[in-house]
Amino acid sequence: MSEFFLELFSEEIPSSLQQNLRRDLLDNFNKLLREKFISFKKSSSYSTPNRAIIVFEGLPKQVFLKSEEIKGPNINAPEIAIEGFVRKNNISKKNLFKKALIKVSFIF
């Protein structure tokens, strides 16, 4: 198991903001790791007037991110349908590829 340690240096952080900073920073990183399906055993945050620190313990040594294929329109579909697919999934046209499925080809 591995650890992730992030220490941010800054100008003096007012004491009234330190607690919110620690909580928000830790919540955002927890959310990110959950979205990427990266498991961990323990997370914590700390702060001083000049530093904010988060620590994640029990991370896997290697992380494998899963790729996803999203079926799009038929390759003979109008250009506007392909552009809509690209916009909806926030991808670029250069990342599209064609794949044949049972006599018909689709964009993925």
SS (H, E, C) the chain: CEEEEEEEECCCCCHHHHHHHHHHHHHHHHHHHHHCCCCCCEEEEEEECCEEEEEEEEECCCCCCCCCCCCCCECCCCHHHHHHHHHHHCCCHHHCCEEEECCEEEEC
Domain that holds residue 88: 67-108
Range in 13-17, 35-39, 43-47, 101-105 the model is least confident about:
101-105
The answer on 7 and 54 residing in a single domain is: yes
The answer on 55 and 16 residing in a single domain is: yes
Q: In total, how many domains does the chain have?
A: 2
Report if pTM > 0.75.
no
Q: Is the separation of the CB atoms in 36 and 65 below 8 Å?
A: yes
Rg of the Cα trace of the chain? 22
The answer on 12 and 51 residing in a single domain is: yes
Res. 14: pLDDT tops 80 = yes
Res. 4: pLDDT tops 80 = yes
The answer on 22 and 39 residing in a single domain is: yes
Euclidean distance between CA atoms 82 and 98, whole angstroms: 12
